[in-house]
Chains A and B, each alone.
Chain A
């Protein structure tokens, strides 16, 4: 049986992601842990995160779990979710400037205020709700139709420097990267654990993924 560890660094609602992983047909052995040893024993690792990125980064460092993430990033299938994606960039403009893990070159920027949609209606911040995701080829999109909707809630978004790292985009109102990947790492801005069947399918794909793109 495949095992997956959800990194618990004290930030955010880990129960949703654990429950979703327990629900999928692959039926993985799910651990929610802050213990580096236990985390590294798992076959694959999920890095979640909600709230302010400055707090998340500080919590990762305090618990020294940033080292675990860096190590996992070398060789294990690793899935970042929401702030778990943003924290993989070089830095974020949230909370002043927050230095992040630098797994993907690039920055995290805020959606500008006062954007409007095609009807001239104000676009609210946070970007909250179900938006379409346009896919680039990657095994984690298997059995998910292109342009399926996923649930988002965020005010900042990633701007990766290398276009080949972007494997999914959404629009609000301009196109932004909402899925990043390289080697054994995949990261999404939306919440697969809250995105009904296609979200669960993505988690299922992650559990079966060998870490090759």
Chain B
């Protein structure tokens, strides 16, 4: 018996509503974050991640209420990312019931922010989200660069060096998304996942590209990820979380099944 690998469904929330269409036949309101969170919790999700994609900062308060409601009903770890730029943002989310916050763009603009956040709230609640794209050609030594603003802005920063630096600055976990794979359903970038997981001593969550259950298993077995995050394969009811866990357990991956 050992520590289980984690499956983390990710929900995009815009102004308090889950978007990118969750399509469960038996859910009354597919946009209700609380109802969807409850459903994933029942299916055995090990954690939940909410990504606030609300464009206007005036609507940020809505996310706080979403977290409050979910945290009052679902008793597994909750991570909230999107728009976390100040210590005050973190404090509000933790007070609302989030256990961890994801920091992405703000870390790139001001790496010291990660240090301050970890010192103030503890590394255990600071997840640094890294969006990476491969910049090397086929026959070259593989290299990845980090991007901000949902993958639109290049930074010139090497992804592996960045991950190492963020852990030195106090990140307790790395959420790694391959921008090349995100939305493609062709599987995680396993080479990238493996490179980052080998380079840091904190847990790494693989994200971006999951299209089937074998992809999840590969993320752990080949990519050496400690957790796997996916959205659409769960939202559209293609697979339940429990099916995914059973599939992975059959491949001798330690999972929480009870």
CA A151 to CA B77, docked complex, whole Å: 8
A152 to chain B, nearest CB (A): 8
B172 and A128 form a contact (CB under 8 A): yes
Dominant secondary structure of chain B at its interface with chain A? loop
Which of B3, B4, B227 gathers the greatest number of chain A CB atoms within 10 Å?
B3
**What's the Cα separation between A88 and B129 when bound, in Å?**
35
CB neighbours (8 Å) of A195 from chain B are: 75-76
| A145, B172: Cα distance in complex, Å | 30
Instruction: Give Cα A30–Cα B3 distance, bound, in whole angstroms.
Output: 32
Interface centre among A118, A121, A196 (most CB of B within 10 A): A196
Is the Cβ of A126 less than 8 Å from the Cβ of B226?
no
Say yes or no: A129-B6 contact (C-beta < 8 A), given A15-B97, A23-B73: yes
Interface contact B75-A149, CB-CB below 8 Å: no
Task: Provide the residues of chain A in CB contact with B123, threshold 8 Å.
Answer: 126
In the bound complex, CA of A79 to CA of B224 (Å): 36
Q: Does B203 contact A (CB under 8 A)?
A: yes
Please determine whether B3 and A131 come into contact, CB atoms closer than 8 angstroms: yes
With contacts A129-B46, A199-B75 known, is A118 near B2, CB below 8 A? yes
**Residue B84 is within 8 A (CB to CB) of chain A in the complex:** no
- With A50-B122, A50-B124 as contacts: A125 and B201 at CB distance below 8 Å: yes
In chain A, positions 164-196 with a C-beta closer than 8 Å to chain B are: 171-173, 193-196
A130 contacts across to B, CB distance below 8 A:
3-4, 6, 46, 256
Taking CB atoms and an 8 Å cut-off, the chain B residues in 84-137 that contact chain A are 94-97, 99, 121-125
B207 to chain A, nearest CB (A): 16
Distance to closest chain A CB from B92 (angstroms): 11
A213 on interface, CB distance cutoff 8 Å? no
Q: Which residues of B from 1 to 20 have beta carbons under 8 Å from A? A: 1-6
Please state if B201 and A122 are interface contacts (CB–CB under 8 Å): yes
Tally chain A residues at the interface, Cβ within 8 Å: 43
B76 partner, pick from A15, A126, A152, A194, beta carbons under 8 A: A194
Q: What is the count of residue pairs linking A and B with beta-carbon distances less than 8 angstroms?
A: 105
Q: B71 on the interface (CB 8 Å rule)? A: yes
A117-B2, A128-B173 given as contacts; is B77 within 8 A of A194 (CB)? yes
Range of interface residues on chain B?
35 or more
Closest chain A residue to B5 by CB distance? A129
Task: Decide if B4 touches A129 in the complex (CB within 8 Å).
Answer: yes
In-complex Cβ contact of A124 among B75, B77, B97, B201 (8 A): B201
CB-based contact A52/B122 at 8 Å = yes
The residues of B that contact A121 with a CB separation of less than 8 Å are 224
Q: Tell yes or no: B72 within 8 A of A by CB.
A: yes
**B138 within 8 Å of A by Cβ?**
no
Asked whether A127 lies within 8 Å of B122 as measured between CB atoms, the reply is no
Does B250 count as interface, using CB distance less than 8 angstroms?
no
Which B residues from 193 to 210 make CB contacts under 8 A with A? 197-198, 201-204
User: Is A15's CB under 8 angstroms from B1's CB?
Assistant: no
Q: B198 — which chain A residues lie within 8 A by C-beta?
A: 122
30 contacts between A and B (CB under 8 A): A12-B122, A13-B99, A16-B71, A16-B99, A20-B75, A23-B72, A23-B73, A51-B121, A52-B122, A118-B2, A121-B224, A122-B201, A123-B3, A124-B204, A124-B226, A125-B201, A126-B124, A126-B172, A128-B203, A129-B203, A130-B6, A131-B3, A131-B4, A149-B4, A153-B124, A153-B172, A171-B1, A172-B2, A172-B3, A195-B76
Please give 17 more A-B residue pairs, beta carbons under 8 A apart, in addition to A15-B95, A125-B201: A13-B97, A16-B99, A20-B75, A50-B122, A51-B122, A118-B2, A122-B197, A122-B201, A126-B123, A126-B202, A126-B203, A128-B203, A130-B4, A131-B2, A153-B77, A173-B2, A194-B77
Q: Which B residues fall within an 8 A CB radius of A?
A: 1-6, 41, 46, 71-73, 75-77, 94-97, 99, 121-125, 172-173, 197-198, 201-204, 224, 226-227, 256, 258
